[in-house]
Amino acid sequence: MADDIFLIPEEQDERARKWLKDNGPALAIGIALGLAAIFGYEQYKDSVQRNAEHASALYQAALTEVSDSSLSDIDAQVTELKENYASSSYAAKAALLKAKKLSISDLDAAYIELQWVVDNAAEPGLQHTARIRQAKIKLSQDDLEQARVLASFTPTQGFESNYDEVLAEVNVREGNTEKARELFQKAIDTLPSSQSGYAQLLSLKIDRLPAAAAQASVDAN
Protein backbone atom coordinates (compact mmCIF):
# COMPACT_ATOMS: atom_id res chain seq x y z
CA MET A 1 0.00 0.00 0.00
CA ALA A 2 1.12 3.54 -0.71
CA ASP A 3 0.36 4.69 2.85
CA ASP A 4 2.77 2.12 4.37
CA ILE A 5 5.46 4.78 4.55
CA PHE A 6 3.39 6.70 7.13
CA LEU A 7 3.10 3.70 9.51
CA ILE A 8 5.27 3.36 12.58
CA PRO A 9 7.69 0.36 12.56
CA GLU A 10 5.44 -1.78 14.78
CA GLU A 11 2.45 -1.18 12.48
CA GLN A 12 4.54 -1.99 9.43
CA ASP A 13 5.68 -5.29 11.00
CA GLU A 14 2.11 -6.22 11.89
CA ARG A 15 0.90 -5.47 8.36
CA ALA A 16 3.76 -7.56 6.90
CA ARG A 17 2.89 -10.53 9.16
CA LYS A 18 -0.78 -10.31 8.14
CA TRP A 19 0.11 -10.12 4.46
CA LEU A 20 2.36 -13.18 4.73
CA LYS A 21 -0.35 -15.09 6.62
CA ASP A 22 -2.92 -14.29 3.93
CA ASN A 23 -0.68 -14.72 0.90
CA GLY A 24 2.09 -17.04 2.10
CA PRO A 25 0.65 -20.34 0.74
CA ALA A 26 0.02 -18.86 -2.70
CA LEU A 27 3.46 -17.27 -2.70
CA ALA A 28 5.09 -20.59 -1.79
CA ILE A 29 3.20 -22.39 -4.55
CA GLY A 30 4.20 -19.70 -7.03
CA ILE A 31 7.85 -19.96 -6.06
CA ALA A 32 7.70 -23.75 -6.29
CA LEU A 33 6.10 -23.63 -9.72
CA GLY A 34 8.60 -21.03 -10.84
CA LEU A 35 11.53 -23.15 -9.73
CA ALA A 36 10.02 -26.23 -11.35
CA ALA A 37 9.61 -24.32 -14.61
CA ILE A 38 13.21 -23.10 -14.44
CA PHE A 39 14.65 -26.52 -13.71
CA GLY A 40 12.31 -28.17 -16.20
CA TYR A 41 13.43 -25.75 -18.90
CA GLU A 42 17.06 -26.38 -18.01
CA GLN A 43 16.47 -30.13 -18.41
CA TYR A 44 14.75 -29.46 -21.73
CA LYS A 45 17.70 -27.36 -22.92
CA ASP A 46 20.10 -30.10 -21.84
CA SER A 47 18.06 -32.68 -23.76
CA VAL A 48 18.00 -30.52 -26.90
CA GLN A 49 21.74 -29.95 -26.59
CA ARG A 50 22.43 -33.68 -26.23
CA ASN A 51 20.25 -34.50 -29.23
CA ALA A 52 21.95 -31.82 -31.34
CA GLU A 53 25.39 -33.10 -30.36
CA HIS A 54 24.45 -36.69 -31.18
CA ALA A 55 22.96 -35.70 -34.54
CA SER A 56 26.08 -33.66 -35.31
CA ALA A 57 28.31 -36.61 -34.44
CA LEU A 58 26.33 -38.92 -36.73
CA TYR A 59 26.57 -36.42 -39.58
CA GLN A 60 30.31 -35.98 -39.06
CA ALA A 61 30.70 -39.76 -39.08
CA ALA A 62 28.89 -39.92 -42.40
CA LEU A 63 31.15 -37.19 -43.80
CA THR A 64 34.21 -39.08 -42.64
CA GLU A 65 32.99 -42.29 -44.27
CA VAL A 66 32.52 -40.55 -47.61
CA SER A 67 35.84 -38.75 -47.31
CA ASP A 68 37.64 -42.03 -46.63
CA SER A 69 36.11 -43.76 -49.63
CA SER A 70 33.39 -42.89 -52.11
CA LEU A 71 32.19 -46.49 -51.79
CA SER A 72 31.88 -46.42 -48.03
CA ASP A 73 28.51 -47.32 -46.55
CA ILE A 74 26.85 -44.42 -44.74
CA ASP A 75 23.40 -46.00 -44.55
CA ALA A 76 23.56 -46.62 -40.80
CA GLN A 77 24.27 -42.99 -39.89
CA VAL A 78 21.77 -41.60 -42.40
CA THR A 79 19.04 -44.01 -41.31
CA GLU A 80 19.46 -43.13 -37.63
CA LEU A 81 19.43 -39.42 -38.39
CA LYS A 82 16.26 -39.74 -40.47
CA GLU A 83 14.49 -41.91 -37.90
CA ASN A 84 15.48 -40.11 -34.70
CA TYR A 85 16.44 -36.56 -35.77
CA ALA A 86 14.28 -36.00 -38.85
CA SER A 87 13.60 -32.36 -37.97
CA SER A 88 17.29 -31.47 -37.68
CA SER A 89 19.29 -30.01 -40.55
CA TYR A 90 21.81 -32.82 -40.05
CA ALA A 91 19.29 -35.41 -41.24
CA ALA A 92 18.56 -33.48 -44.42
CA LYS A 93 22.25 -32.81 -45.08
CA ALA A 94 23.07 -36.49 -44.55
CA ALA A 95 20.31 -37.46 -46.99
CA LEU A 96 21.76 -35.02 -49.54
CA LEU A 97 25.15 -36.62 -48.98
CA LYS A 98 23.73 -40.11 -49.51
CA ALA A 99 21.89 -38.97 -52.63
CA LYS A 100 25.13 -37.61 -54.07
CA LYS A 101 26.78 -40.95 -53.45
CA LEU A 102 23.85 -42.87 -54.95
CA SER A 103 23.81 -40.68 -58.07
CA ILE A 104 27.06 -42.30 -59.18
CA SER A 105 25.35 -45.60 -59.88
CA ASP A 106 21.59 -45.30 -59.22
CA LEU A 107 19.87 -42.07 -60.23
CA ASP A 108 16.40 -43.34 -59.33
CA ALA A 109 17.50 -44.18 -55.78
CA ALA A 110 19.20 -40.79 -55.52
CA TYR A 111 15.97 -39.11 -56.64
CA ILE A 112 14.01 -40.92 -53.90
CA GLU A 113 16.55 -39.87 -51.27
CA LEU A 114 16.26 -36.26 -52.43
CA GLN A 115 12.48 -36.50 -52.17
CA TRP A 116 12.88 -37.30 -48.47
CA VAL A 117 14.69 -33.98 -48.07
CA VAL A 118 11.96 -32.13 -49.98
CA ASP A 119 9.28 -33.70 -47.76
CA ASN A 120 11.04 -33.46 -44.40
CA ALA A 121 13.66 -30.71 -44.30
CA ALA A 122 12.72 -27.80 -42.04
CA GLU A 123 14.99 -25.35 -43.87
CA PRO A 124 13.72 -24.08 -47.25
CA GLY A 125 17.29 -23.83 -48.53
CA LEU A 126 17.81 -27.57 -48.11
CA GLN A 127 14.49 -28.28 -49.82
CA HIS A 128 15.49 -26.09 -52.77
CA THR A 129 18.87 -27.81 -53.00
CA ALA A 130 17.20 -31.22 -53.14
CA ARG A 131 14.60 -30.13 -55.69
CA ILE A 132 17.21 -28.58 -57.99
CA ARG A 133 19.26 -31.79 -57.85
CA GLN A 134 16.11 -33.75 -58.69
CA ALA A 135 15.60 -31.53 -61.73
CA LYS A 136 19.18 -32.19 -62.84
CA ILE A 137 18.63 -35.94 -62.47
CA LYS A 138 15.55 -35.74 -64.70
CA LEU A 139 17.56 -33.63 -67.15
CA SER A 140 20.27 -36.29 -67.28
CA GLN A 141 17.57 -38.91 -67.91
CA ASP A 142 16.15 -36.80 -70.77
CA ASP A 143 12.86 -36.37 -68.92
CA LEU A 144 12.72 -32.73 -69.98
CA GLU A 145 9.10 -32.16 -69.02
CA GLN A 146 9.62 -33.27 -65.41
CA ALA A 147 12.87 -31.31 -65.23
CA ARG A 148 10.96 -28.22 -66.35
CA VAL A 149 8.23 -28.79 -63.75
CA LEU A 150 10.76 -29.14 -60.93
CA ALA A 151 12.77 -26.10 -62.09
CA SER A 152 9.61 -23.97 -62.32
CA PHE A 153 8.96 -24.22 -58.57
CA THR A 154 8.09 -21.02 -56.72
CA PRO A 155 8.87 -19.23 -54.48
CA THR A 156 12.54 -19.56 -55.34
CA GLN A 157 13.75 -17.83 -52.12
CA GLY A 158 17.23 -16.90 -53.32
CA PHE A 159 17.70 -19.88 -55.67
CA GLU A 160 16.52 -18.08 -58.80
CA SER A 161 19.82 -18.56 -60.63
CA ASN A 162 19.91 -22.29 -59.94
CA TYR A 163 16.38 -22.81 -61.23
CA ASP A 164 16.99 -20.60 -64.28
CA GLU A 165 20.13 -22.57 -65.10
CA VAL A 166 18.17 -25.84 -65.20
CA LEU A 167 15.43 -24.24 -67.30
CA ALA A 168 18.12 -22.97 -69.67
CA GLU A 169 19.58 -26.49 -69.95
CA VAL A 170 16.10 -27.83 -70.76
CA ASN A 171 15.83 -25.30 -73.59
CA VAL A 172 19.29 -26.24 -74.86
CA ARG A 173 18.16 -29.89 -75.10
CA GLU A 174 15.01 -28.79 -76.91
CA GLY A 175 17.01 -26.68 -79.37
CA ASN A 176 15.66 -23.35 -78.12
CA THR A 177 19.06 -21.67 -78.14
CA GLU A 178 17.90 -18.08 -77.78
CA LYS A 179 15.59 -18.91 -74.89
CA ALA A 180 18.45 -20.80 -73.25
CA ARG A 181 20.74 -17.81 -73.73
CA GLU A 182 18.12 -15.54 -72.17
CA LEU A 183 17.73 -17.81 -69.14
CA PHE A 184 21.48 -18.23 -68.62
CA GLN A 185 21.86 -14.44 -68.72
CA LYS A 186 18.95 -14.02 -66.31
CA ALA A 187 20.67 -16.45 -63.96
CA ILE A 188 23.87 -14.38 -64.13
CA ASP A 189 22.03 -11.11 -63.54
CA THR A 190 20.32 -12.50 -60.44
CA LEU A 191 23.55 -13.63 -58.78
CA PRO A 192 25.15 -11.56 -56.00
CA SER A 193 28.71 -10.36 -56.57
CA SER A 194 29.99 -12.91 -54.04
CA GLN A 195 29.19 -15.73 -56.50
CA SER A 196 31.47 -14.59 -59.31
CA GLY A 197 32.72 -18.14 -59.87
CA TYR A 198 29.22 -19.39 -60.59
CA ALA A 199 28.64 -16.41 -62.88
CA GLN A 200 31.77 -17.31 -64.88
CA LEU A 201 30.52 -20.89 -65.28
CA LEU A 202 27.19 -19.64 -66.61
CA SER A 203 29.02 -17.26 -68.97
CA LEU A 204 30.97 -20.22 -70.36
CA LYS A 205 27.70 -22.01 -71.03
CA ILE A 206 26.47 -19.00 -72.97
CA ASP A 207 29.70 -18.86 -74.96
CA ARG A 208 29.29 -22.51 -75.96
CA LEU A 209 25.82 -21.93 -77.40
CA PRO A 210 25.70 -21.70 -81.20
CA ALA A 211 25.36 -18.17 -82.55
CA ALA A 212 21.89 -17.10 -83.59
CA ALA A 213 22.75 -16.96 -87.31
CA ALA A 214 24.38 -20.39 -87.25
CA GLN A 215 21.42 -21.87 -85.37
CA ALA A 216 19.00 -20.36 -87.91
CA SER A 217 20.98 -21.97 -90.73
CA VAL A 218 20.88 -25.35 -88.99
CA ASP A 219 17.13 -25.06 -88.42
CA ALA A 220 16.57 -24.14 -92.07
CA ASN A 221 18.35 -27.28 -93.24
pLDDT tens profile 144-177: 999 999 999 999 989 999 999 999 999 999 999 9
* Residues 173-199 pLDDT 10s: 999 999 999 999 999 999 999 999 999
Q: Whole-model pTM?
A: 0.68
Which pLDDT belongs to residue 7?
Answer: 44
H helix intervals, 121-207:
124-140, 144-151, 160-174, 177-190, 196-207
